[in-house]
Amino acid sequence: MKKAFIIIGLLIVALGLMTACGSKNSTNNSTGNNSSTNPAGSGVLADNMYHPCGGELKIGQYKGLTFTAEKIVITEDDIDFQVKKLMETYPNYTKDTTRDNTLVKDGDVVNIDYVGKVGGNAFEGGTAKDAFLTIGSKQFIDGFESSLIGKTIGTTVDINVTFPENYTPNPDLAGVAAVFTVTLNYVGLPSDEIDDAYVARTVPSLATTVEGLRKYISDTLMEDAKDAQEDEMWDALMKQAIENTEFVKILPEDVDYYYELSMATIKQYATYYKMSEEELYNTYYGTDEMTYAQFLARCREKAEQSVKEYMVLQEIIKLENITVSDEDYNKEALEYAKNVGLTTVAELEAKFGKDYVMYCVKTDKALDFIKDNAVITEAE
């Protein structure tokens, strides 16, 4: 997707680099806009993100750029792999007929129906059917699983429990005594196969049949592949436009801005964990392939690349007289807002500054211009 270096992408350049090099932690797609939380102290995360770059360039060819898209094919093996990952997280169980009428033991995976009541009345969230529970997993509140040990498979029993005093899922139940009526349907055996019942029980919001699940996985993989290919396209087109351009003068302060921006997150984490930035990198993100010094050098390279992108796109905006109507601005800005968890354009402008939002909208129009005037083909 375009806007790879705008808003979210721009804010997490450093962690994005780490992820590409084998990050041990996941990234966080949000950031504060209060300069007091910015250890860099450069105003990089201030309320107005917009930073106009200066410098001088002689722009080259930016029309007629080329990109060849590889044909995307989702195979049955690709789908099988995703199904396997799902089953590793949520195993499927079939009925163990040899355990009918036997006693529940610690470690058993038991299929149960249950209804929880307080004062004789069922309460919200206390009822389920066809649920699997591993006895001893502490998945349920204290006393629930242990009370089922020794009960007979195929019977229905009442068990008495008391919710914890600090029961956060439903504070109204904190410290309350309850009775659960539990039907012990059967003991489950792990299975390598899936069926419609498993799908309906495990991922009902996605699909209720095996066929539906496989289609959902196929469609999702295809969308992910298309998104990745679109990212590849924007990168390729921008790379060509930059390579065709002579950068007469790049201002060091502009490179510094993007460098500090890319380092802001790691500096914040270093402050939080009371570590030096190098210690943080080596502890959580370091790899054998990239030392901290190499990481800093790469951040500097990425910062210079961002300045070049800015210069080229702003030149295209000027040469092609790209303008933004109020309707276009509001439409695009609302999409940006949704992408960062906001609901209105006003909230977006308050967080990043209207100048920055307008810059994003114009930049996207310049990117669209490059694409619309490029030669995009598909490999055979």
pLDDT at 169: 87
**For residue 204, how many other CB atoms are within 10 A of its CB?**
9
The answer to the question of residue 204 being in a domain is no
Q: Cβ(186)–Cβ(104) under 8 Å?
A: no
pLDDT at 312: 96
What is each CA distance from 223 to 219, 237, 313, in whole angstroms? 6, 21, 28
pLDDT at 76: 97
Same domain for 171 and 103? yes
The answer to the question of residue 228 being in a domain is no
Which residues touch 124 (CB under 8 Å, ≥6 apart)?
170
CA distance 110 to 324: 61
Same domain for 52 and 102? no
pLDDT at 3: 52
According to DSSP, residue 214 is labeled H
Same domain for 57 and 146? no
- CATH number of the domain at 123, please: 3.10.50.40
**Strand 66-69 relative to strand 375-378, pairing:** parallel
CA distance 3 to 7: 8
Same domain for 163 and 257? no
pLDDT at 2: 54
Could you give the residue ranges of the DSSP H alpha helices within the chain?
A: 8-11, 13-20, 76-89, 144-148, 196-202, 210-243, 252-272, 277-280, 292-319, 326-339, 345-352, 354-372
Same domain for 175 and 270? no
Last residue of a domain, one of 128, 162, 193: 193
Same domain for 113 and 53? no
Q: What is the pLDDT along the chain (380 residues), one digit of tens a residue?
A: 455 334 444 444 444 434 333 333 333 333 333 333 333 333 345 556 788 999 999 999 999 999 999 999 999 999 999 999 999 999 999 999 999 999 999 999 999 999 999 999 999 989 999 899 999 999 999 999 999 999 999 999 999 999 999 898 889 999 999 999 999 999 999 998 999 989 998 999 999 999 999 999 999 999 999 999 998 999 999 999 999 999 999 999 999 999 998 888 888 888 988 999 999 888 887 777 789 999 999 999 999 999 999 999 999 999 999 999 999 999 999 998 998 889 999 999 998 889 989 999 999 999 999 999 999 999 87
Domain with 111 in it = 96-193
Phi, psi (degrees; rounded to nearest 5) at 87: -70, -25
Token pair of 375 as six digits: 């030669």
Same domain for 150 and 55? no
The rounded radius of gyration (Å) of the Cα atoms in the chain is 28
Same domain for 364 and 258? yes
Q: Cβ(260)–Cβ(296) under 8 Å?
A: no
The answer to the question of residue 358 being in a domain is yes
- CATH number of the domain at 352, please: 1.10.3120
Same domain for 50 and 106? no
Same domain for 103 and 14? no
The answer to the question of residue 127 being in a domain is yes
Helix axes 326-339, 345-352, angle to 10 degrees: 70
Give the up-direction half-sphere exposure of residue 56: CA atoms within 13 A in the CB hemisphere.
Answer: 2
Query: Can you name the residues that pair with 127 across neighbouring β-strands?
Result: 115
CA distance 226 to 66: 18
| DSSP codes of every residue in 345-369 | HHHHHHHH-HHHHHHHHHHHHHHHH
The answer to the question of residue 305 being in a domain is yes
pLDDT at 31: 30
Last residue of a domain, one of 193, 223, 252: 193
The answer to the question of residue 312 being in a domain is yes
pLDDT at 262: 83
- Fill in the amino acid letter for 48: N
Which residues touch 128 (CB under 8 Å, ≥6 apart)?
112, 113, 114
Same domain for 162 and 119? yes
Token pair of 137 as six digits: 């997993």
User: How many domains in the chain?
Assistant: 2
Match 């990745």 to its residue by tokens.
228
Q: Cβ(315)–Cβ(57) under 8 Å?
A: yes
Q: Among 301, 371, 320, 336, which Cα is nearest to 8's?
A: 336
Token pair of 286 as six digits: 């370091």
259-291 b/e with 16+ CB inside 10 Å = b?
A: bbbbbbbbbbbbeeeeeebbebbeeebbeeebe
Same domain for 361 and 280? yes
Last residue of a domain, one of 193, 227, 254: 193
The answer to the question of residue 269 being in a domain is yes
According to DSSP, residue 297 is labeled H
Burial tier of 151 (Cβ tally within 10 Å: 0-12, 13-18, 19+) = middle
The answer to the question of residue 73 being in a domain is no
